[in-house]
Chains A and B, each alone.
Chain A
Amino acid sequence: MTIRQRISEAIPLILLTILTLPVVLGFVWLVISTFSRRTYGLLPVDTKGNFGGLTLENWKFLVTDKDIWPVTLNTFILAVGLAVGVVLISAMAGYALSRIRFPGRQGFLAMTLILHAFPSVTLLISIYFVLRWISAVPLLGKGLPFIGGFGYNTLGGVILVSVALQLPLGVWLMKGFFDMVSWDMERAALIDGCSRFRAWWQVVLPQIRPGIAALSIFSFISGWGSFLIPYTYMTAQTKSVIAAYLNKLMGETVPMNYSAIAAVGLFQMIPVLIFFIFTQEYLLSIYAGGTKGGQ
Chain B
Amino acid sequence: MKVLLENLSKHFGKVIAVHEVNLEVRDGEFVALLGPSGCGKTTTLLMIAGIYQPTAGTIKFGERVVNFLPPKERNIGMVFQSYALYPHMTVFANIAFPMILKKVPQVKMRENVKKVADLLQIGNLLDRHPGQLSGGQQQRVALARALGKEPDLLLFDEPLSNLDAKLRLRMRSEIKRLQMELGITSVYVTHDQVEAMTMADRVAVMHEGRLLAYDTPDTLYNRPSTLFTAGFIGSPPMNFLPMRLERKDGAVCLDTGWLCLPLSAEQGDVVARSHMGANVILGIRPEHLAIVPEGDLKATVYVVEPLGREDLVVLRVDENELRVLMPSPFRGEVGQMVSVRLDRSKLHLFDPQTEQALL
Tell whether, in the assembled complex, residue A182 and residue B131 are in contact, meaning their CB atoms are under 8 Å apart: no
Report the separation of the CA atoms of residues A189 and B78 in the bound assembly, to the nearest whole angstrom.
10
Instruction: From A62-70, A191-199, A236-244, A247-255, give the one contacting chain B.
Output: A191-199
Q: Does B77 contact A (CB under 8 A)?
A: yes
19 contacts between A and B (CB under 8 A): A184-B80, A185-B84, A187-B51, A187-B71, A188-B80, A188-B84, A189-B86, A190-B50, A190-B51, A190-B72, A191-B78, A192-B145, A192-B149, A193-B101, A194-B72, A195-B72, A206-B86, A294-B131, A295-B130
Tell whether, in the assembled complex, residue A187 and residue B145 are in contact, meaning their CB atoms are under 8 Å apart: no
| A185 (CB) vs chain B CBs: closest residue | B84
Q: Does A115 contact B (CB under 8 A)?
A: no
Size range of the chain B interface in the assembly: 20 to 34
Residues from chain A with Cβ under 8 Å of B145 in the complex: 188, 192
Question: What is the number of residues of chain A that contact chain B, defined by CB distance less than 8 Å?
Answer: 19
Closest chain B CB from A24 CB (angstroms): 39
Tell whether, in the assembled complex, residue B101 and residue A187 are in contact, meaning their CB atoms are under 8 Å apart: no
Tell whether, in the assembled complex, residue B86 and residue A203 are in contact, meaning their CB atoms are under 8 Å apart: yes
Q: Does B26 contact A (CB under 8 A)?
A: no
Q: Does A207 contact B (CB under 8 A)?
A: yes
Tell whether, in the assembled complex, residue A191 and residue B72 are in contact, meaning their CB atoms are under 8 Å apart: yes
Most interface-central of A207, A209, A295 (chain B CB within 10 A): A295
Report the separation of the CA atoms of residues A192 and B88 in the bound assembly, to the nearest whole angstrom.
16
Main secondary structure of the interface of A (DSSP, over half): helix
Tell whether, in the assembled complex, residue A193 and residue B102 are in contact, meaning their CB atoms are under 8 Å apart: yes
Tell whether, in the assembled complex, residue A206 and residue B88 are in contact, meaning their CB atoms are under 8 Å apart: yes
Closest chain A CB from B70 CB (angstroms): 8
Residues from chain A with Cβ under 8 Å of B76 in the complex: 191
Q: Does B267 contact A (CB under 8 A)?
A: no
Q: Does B237 contact A (CB under 8 A)?
A: no
Report the separation of the CA atoms of residues A192 and B78 in the bound assembly, to the nearest whole angstrom.
8
> Would you give the 0/1 interface string for A106-145, flagging 1 where the beta carbon is closer than 8 Å to chain B?
0000000000000000000000000000000000000000
Most interface-central of A193, A195, A198, A206 (chain B CB within 10 A): A193
Report the separation of the CA atoms of residues A209 and B88 in the bound assembly, to the nearest whole angstrom.
10
Report the separation of the CA atoms of residues A207 and B130 in the bound assembly, to the nearest whole angstrom.
13
Q: Does B279 contact A (CB under 8 A)?
A: no
Residues from chain B with Cβ under 8 Å of A198 in the complex: 101
> Would you give the 0/1 interface string for A144-188, flagging 1 where the beta carbon is closer than 8 Å to chain B?
000000000000000000000000000000000000001011011
Tell whether, in the assembled complex, residue B86 and residue A194 are in contact, meaning their CB atoms are under 8 Å apart: no
Q: A185-B86, A191-B74, A194-B72 given. 15 additional CB < 8 A pairs?
A: A184-B82, A185-B84, A187-B51, A187-B80, A188-B86, A190-B51, A190-B71, A190-B72, A191-B49, A191-B71, A191-B72, A193-B72, A195-B70, A195-B72, A294-B131
Report the separation of the CA atoms of residues A184 and B145 in the bound assembly, to the nearest whole angstrom.
14
Residues from chain A with Cβ under 8 Å of B129 in the complex: 295
Tell whether, in the assembled complex, residue B98 and residue A184 are in contact, meaning their CB atoms are under 8 Å apart: no
Tell whether, in the assembled complex, residue B84 and residue A187 are in contact, meaning their CB atoms are under 8 Å apart: yes
Report the separation of the CA atoms of residues A295 and B155 in the bound assembly, to the nearest whole angstrom.
26
Tell whether, in the assembled complex, residue B72 and residue A295 are in contact, meaning their CB atoms are under 8 Å apart: no
Residues from chain B with Cβ under 8 Å of A192 in the complex: 72, 97-98, 101, 145, 149
Tell whether, in the assembled complex, residue A182 and residue B149 are in contact, meaning their CB atoms are under 8 Å apart: no
Residues from chain B with Cβ under 8 Å of A188 in the complex: 78, 80, 84-86, 145
Residues from chain A with Cβ under 8 Å of B50 in the complex: 190-191
Closest chain A CB from B297 CB (angstroms): 51
Residues from chain A with Cβ under 8 Å of B87 in the complex: 207, 295
| A195 (CB) vs chain B CBs: closest residue | B72
Tell whether, in the assembled complex, residue B77 and residue A191 are in contact, meaning their CB atoms are under 8 Å apart: yes
Given A182-B82, A182-B84, A187-B84, A295-B131 contact (CB < 8 Å): yes
Report the separation of the CA atoms of residues A240 and B187 in the bound assembly, to the nearest whole angstrom.
64
Most interface-central of B46, B80, B129 (chain A CB within 10 A): B80
Residues from chain B with Cβ under 8 Å of A295 in the complex: 87-88, 129-131
Residues from chain B with Cβ under 8 Å of A194 in the complex: 72, 101
Report the separation of the CA atoms of residues A294 and B131 in the bound assembly, to the nearest whole angstrom.
7
Report the separation of the CA atoms of residues A287 and B131 in the bound assembly, to the nearest whole angstrom.
22
| A209 (CB) vs chain B CBs: closest residue | B88
Most interface-central of B49, B78, B84, B102 (chain A CB within 10 A): B84
Interface positions, chain B 49-67, Cβ under 8 Å from A, are 49-51
Given A193-B72, A194-B72, A187-B88 contact (CB < 8 Å): no
Residues from chain B with Cβ under 8 Å of A189 in the complex: 86
Closest chain A CB from B160 CB (angstroms): 15
Most interface-central of A187, A198, A203, A295 (chain B CB within 10 A): A187
Q: Which 3 A-B pairs have the closest CB atoms?
A: A193-B101, A184-B84, A192-B98
